[in-house]
Structure 1
Amino acid sequence: MMLSGELFIGGQWIEGRGNDLTSLDPAEQTSIWHGRMADDEQALDVVEVAVKGGQTWRAMGFEERLSIVKSFEDQLRENKDTLALLISRETGKPFWDAAGEAASMIGKIAISVDAYHERTGVRETEANGVTLVTRHHAHGVMVVLGPFNFPGHLPNGHIVPALLAGNSVIFKPSEQTPAVAELTIRLWEAAGLPKGVINLVHGDAGTARQLISHDDVAGVLFTGGVKAGLSIHRDLAGHPDKIVALELGGNNPIVAWGAHDTLGAARMIVRSAYLSGGQRCTCARRLIVGKDESSQNLMKKVVELAGRLAINHPRADPNPFMGALISEHARDSVLRGQAHLEGLGGDVLLKAGAMDLGPAFVSPGIIDMSNAAAASDDEIFGPLLQVYQVDEFEEAVALANNTRFGLASALLSDDSSLFEPFLNQSRAGIVNINQPTAGASGRAPFGGIGLSGNHRPAGYYAADYCAYPRASMVRSNASDETPLPGEQDR
């Protein structure tokens, strides 16, 4: 399927009139997509188009909307290998990782349909001769702002529930992954989606700001970094009329306490920290362990495994564990973060470093911050793990909670008596026991607290933010047989 580098507005592919935009394959440093951003006039026009498209879409009814969403699912299945290859090329993640993302996009359809019926839909009860009806109605035009790390799956997790509910969508993807966005929209077009129901606009933060602040936009569903999320929140302060659902990042802890299978626990820690090159919002950033001999052996095993991870071109044979980061800038951010932590007094156990494979490749790092002069509560979005050694389990839990974020946390332990205290006391939206922090089930709510976000616009609860409940009381006739107070006295 050919990509044009164009915008998709009102069912038409048109050239942007704004600044040039190019997407690079971070592993090969070659251009894979080139186009232009929307200018101010196009950003205004797309909202008007989406309003009209939404009116048509809502009038179709759920079953007709569902049939088109199912056609999109068919398109995903037919093009899953093409989609996975493009995801790998544009993000630098290994092909196996990209193939998993494409599969998640397919799986999201059935999950979203189930969530629509369970979380929204229509409910009726009878009380005193009156039928109490709860219906759910679409908000209107929803702006979906997508991230670079899962350019297919995460926007898809917003778009599908929004469309099922009857909303129209304006999708502005990350400037770093416009190619995956275009392919996704072309699959929606092939599925027979009516004109104006979904629209694709390329642009920067200014474009996003213009879209979300438009009076006819009902809400924004955003997955991305905390700085961008805070900017959106500030821009829409004082606008209770708009849905603002933000899924942001995390400084996620993984506590290893009494896990006797050192190798097995180390594998979970490495997966937690370094999946997708550490470019998942649920990746573990902090490992908290005891000071006993078993914990020391675990740390040594983690360093050993991380130090010999297979890192290579993302489409190499055999497929590596890690490919490239999204860009040279991302690699440099990891190296700067490591230098900052070392400057705070961190002890480097495994040094992250630039690699000869290319400017976007970096080896994983581990730094012990137990004796650092100050703790750092920033999300370093890459393969860098901080270690903290403590004396008591209660201290480990307190340290795990000592963050402005609250997305994911995990406990690795064979001591079942620790499970309940950890689950009860952990301050996070996702709390796992003997499972990695990275990765989540689409059949569960996904999101966090604190600086990790304000709602659950991804995962199973996404349906909640795509429709509002409307309560009605219905009687079969307009006759009120109850006299008014004092009526009989006249």
Structure 2
Amino acid sequence: MTDLSLYIDGAWVATEDTAPVLNPATEEVIGRVALATTEHLDQALDAAERGFAVWTATPIAERTAILLKAAALLTDRADHVGRVMTLEQGKPFAEARGEALRVAGALRWDAEDARRAYGRIIPSADDTVLSVRQEPIGPVAAFTPWNFPAGSPMRKMAGALAAGCSIVIKASEETPGTAVELVRCFADAGLPAGVLNLVFGEPAEVSKHLIADPRIRLVAFTGSIPVGKLLAAQAGAAMKPSLMELGGHAPVIVAADADPVQAARKAAFAKFVNAGQVCTAPSRFLVHSSLHDAFVAAFVEAAGRVVVGDGLAEGVTMGPLANPRRLKAMEELVADAVSRGASVRTGGGRLDRPGFFFAPTVLTDVPADARVMVEEPFGPIAPIVAFDDLDDALRIANSLPYGLAAYGFTRSSKTAEKLIRGFEAGILSINHCGGSVHEAPSGGVKSSGYGREGGPEGLDAYLVTKRVSHLLVD
């Protein structure tokens, strides 16, 4: 494992206090991550304040060139970054390498799109120039989880840096190596000192200290709804805007005219990516009763083809869960569903081997009050239930406070439009289970958060709109 130090004001900083980093496939300690003290956090804040003054004054062409060089370095290092990611998070190497390449593309998109963050001139009186300008909001405090060790940090880094902001980012202590490698790319690309600062530490203490500091102008967070509400409240108390990408419990509706086999295969593939540890993962499967048995059979067959193992092993398509907390959560969700009458069609428990492995699991006859139907599973469990009326299916889909992603399968354009209009979600895919793309925004509604990442909208949170009325004088 790489050196897991803090990065403050352009320098790598070791600390006396460290925490172990585990390989979830073996449960072995593979490194120790540096933990920041309050003094380290204050140093990072000082650096971000100075870095913002330098970065926002840097011409956009120079900023873009540095960010594009960082993206090129990340592309060149994708194999190494992918291996680090697999070691500390568990996902198969092909997924990890693909994530590294994908976020390099996201950085390129944001770097180029920042050149198009235009203002405008508004017709006004003859002696007045009325304009609207877009300017970087200032230093950003960002907090990211462990499930996408490259994807989540890069969304924050790319958006902030492209807009002209500096950033202090606290990445996950469970997957620090990938974040360190991302920062190395920026440092080696020539990013000025202080513009990007990476810290690790006790999450509640770090977030409270950074958010309250007057130098921070924006809070950006990806993670669970309870933590998101806490951080949003802290930001609100300081009258600071926040960007919240929170959890979901994505419904899948398979309409009566869909192809049940194709729908099941596509949905199963998406369900077991990253061992189901994806906030947009399909996680509640509502299937028309006429297609239910065929869908279940195809889904179970697809689950049976998943090869579970160490992400660095040849042929593995699903790695371990990231930590023992997720194992315990899966066991509890399955036990609760079964106690309420659900049937386990495949899987249902942890695998008898070292590591945090849980079998791909399919449940049927799942009652509406089962925990897995109302709590985000965030793991490889697929509950499948039948419906007879599409309006009822949409009511069930929208009955929870979540609203991040949703999926629908149909061969009717009329039904597709009904699903598009009916789903309460910020991200919607019809006839596939699409993931995030650079050129379009991602984000939730209801308790799944607010603000958008990706697409032209992805820079909005990092920019402030300034109205200028300039009276012309001699």
What's the TM-score bracket when you normalise by the shorter of the two chains?
over 0.9
Structure-2 separation of matches of 1:67 and 1:300:
52
Which digits, 9 at most, give the CA deviation of each residue in 1:376-422, with x for residues without a partner?
A: 42111101111221111111111111111001111111122201111
Q: Which residue pairs with 1:486 in the alignment? A: none
- 2:197 is matched with which residue: 196, 199, 217? 199
Structure-2 separation of matches of 1:269 and 1:113:
33
Q: CA deviation at 1:305?
A: 1.6
Tell whether 2:400 aligns with 1:403. yes
Tell whether 2:65 aligns with 1:67. yes
Q: Which residue pairs with 1:230 in the alignment? A: 229
Q: Which residue pairs with 1:482 in the alignment? A: none
1:121-160 to 2 correspondences below 5 Å: 121-129=118-126, 130-160=128-158
On the 8 A contact 1:345/1:372 being kept in 2, the answer is no
Change (3 A) 1:113 1:131: farther
Tell whether 2:195 aligns with 1:185. no
- 1:321 is matched with which residue: 317, 333, 340? 317
Q: CA deviation at 1:370?
A: 4.5
Q: Which residue pairs with 2:443 in the alignment? A: 447
Q: How many residues align?
A: 471
Q: Secondary structure at the match of 2:322?
A: coil
Which digits, 9 at most, give the CA deviation of each residue in 1:130-168, with x for residues without a partner?
A: 433221111111012111111112211111121121111
Q: Which residue pairs with 2:168 in the alignment? A: 170
Structure-1 separation of matches of 2:394 and 2:148:
30
- 2:473 is matched with which residue: 443, 465, 478? 478
Q: CA deviation at 1:326?
A: 0.7
Structure-1 separation of matches of 2:415 and 2:405:
18
Deviates more, 1:457-466 or 1:192-201: 457-466
Q: Which residue pairs with 1:245 in the alignment? A: 243
Q: CA deviation at 1:202?
A: 0.9
Q: CA deviation at 1:4?
A: 2.3
Q: Which residue pairs with 1:100 in the alignment? A: 98
Q: Secondary structure at the match of 1:445?
A: coil
Tell whether 2:333 aligns with 1:337. yes
Change (3 A) 1:394 1:281: same
TM-score (norm 2): 0.94
Tell whether 2:14 aligns with 1:15. yes
Which digits, 9 at most, give the CA deviation of each residue in 1:22-72, with x for residues without a partner?
A: 211111223332133001121122111210111111111211111111121
Structure-2 separation of matches of 1:459 and 1:227:
27
Q: Which residue pairs with 1:414 in the alignment? A: 411
1:284-363 to 2 correspondences below 5 Å: 284-292=282-290, 294-318=291-315, 320-363=316-359
CA RMSD of aligned residues (A): 1.9
Q: Which residue pairs with 2:217 in the alignment? A: 218
Q: CA deviation at 1:95?
A: 0.9
On the 8 A contact 1:259/1:265 being kept in 2, the answer is no
Which residue identity does 1:103 align to in structure 2? Answer: L
Tell whether 2:375 aligns with 1:378. yes
Tell whether 2:19 aligns with 1:29. no
> Which has the greater radius of gyration?
1
Structure-2 separation of matches of 1:473 and 1:89:
55
On the 8 A contact 1:115/1:461 being kept in 2, the answer is no
On the 8 A contact 1:250/1:408 being kept in 2, the answer is yes
Q: Secondary structure at the match of 2:134?
A: strand
Tell whether 2:349 aligns with 1:391. no
Change (3 A) 1:189 1:110: closer
On the 8 A contact 1:154/1:458 being kept in 2, the answer is no
Q: CA deviation at 1:259?
A: 4.9
Q: Which residue pairs with 1:483 in the alignment? A: none
Q: Which residue pairs with 2:362 in the alignment? A: 366
Tell whether 2:428 aligns with 1:431. yes
Which digits, 9 at most, give the CA deviation of each residue in 1:328-375, with x for residues without a partner?
A: 222221111211222333333333211134231111112225545556
Q: CA deviation at 1:125?
A: 3.9
Q: Which residue pairs with 2:277 in the alignment? A: 279
Structure-2 separation of matches of 1:316 and 1:59:
48
Structure-1 separation of matches of 2:104 and 2:250:
28
Which residue identity does 1:20 align to in structure 2? Answer: T
Q: CA deviation at 1:124?
A: 2.6
Deviates more, 1:185-194 or 1:33-42: 33-42
Which residue identity does 2:309 align to in structure 1? Answer: N
Which residue identity does 1:28 align to in structure 2? Answer: T
Q: CA deviation at 1:469?
A: 0.9
TM-score (norm 1): 0.91
On the 8 A contact 1:23/1:179 being kept in 2, the answer is no
Structure-1 separation of matches of 2:115 and 2:431:
32
Structure-2 separation of matches of 1:374 and 1:105:
36
| Structure 1 portions without partners, runs of 5+ | 480-490
Which residue identity does 2:222 align to in structure 1? Answer: T
Q: Which residue pairs with 2:89 in the alignment? A: 91
Which residue identity does 1:255 align to in structure 2? Answer: I
Structure-1 separation of matches of 2:349 and 2:468:
62
Deviates more, 1:421-430 or 1:132-141: 132-141
Q: Secondary structure at the match of 1:417?
A: helix
On the 8 A contact 2:440/2:454 being kept in 1, the answer is no
| Structure 2 portions without partners, runs of 5+ | none
On the 8 A contact 1:412/1:434 being kept in 2, the answer is yes
Quote the sequence identity (%): 28
Q: CA deviation at 1:13?
A: 1.3
